[in-house]
Amino acid sequence: MENKMAGGSEPLTVTYITNIDSNPWTAVYNYAKNGDMNYRTIQSSTTSFSYAGNKMAGASGGESFSLDYDLNGNLTSNESQATSYEYNWDNKLRSAQKGSNTMSLRVKWLGGKSYTAPNLCPVPSV
């Protein structure tokens, strides 16, 4: 495959995993020439991915989800996880909400980040 990931390494194409019960399973990944993942098969369950421009729009098959972005290209929602994200004026993640759980972030004047999490929910790393 001629496409390379950051740092010059090849993209992951096959993985062999043994779980806690020592039952091995295989994951196979297929990519387009531009690096977008076409599909992945884990065991016998295949998930196909769709794109809108250079952004993943969603998936169907073994796993199904729909992703939405704002005009700046920031992820704003993941339909299957009922998750939404808000960004500040310079496109930094401001808050994430999953159901009734919200996590807010704010930047301190001297650098670093301050996290306010009345009901902590998983969010992408920032």
Element (H, E) at 91: none
12-65 pLDDT tens trace: 788 777 776 777 888 899 999 888 999 999 888 999 999 998 899 999 999 999
Q: How confident is the model at residue 116 (pLDDT cuts 50, 70, 90)?
A: low
Q: What does the angle CA 115 – CA 6 – CA 55 come to, to the nearest 5 degrees?
A: 65
Q: Put residue 122 in one of left, alpha, beta given phi > 0 → left and psi -120 to 50 → alpha.
A: beta
Q: What does the angle CA 8 – CA 9 – CA 14 come to, to the nearest 5 degrees?
A: 155
**Residue 51 bridge partners (DSSP):** 56
Cα 42 from Cα 31, distance rounded (Å): 15
The domain limits of the chain are 1-63, 66-121
Cα 104 from Cα 98, distance rounded (Å): 12
Q: Is the pLDDT of residue 4 over 60?
A: no
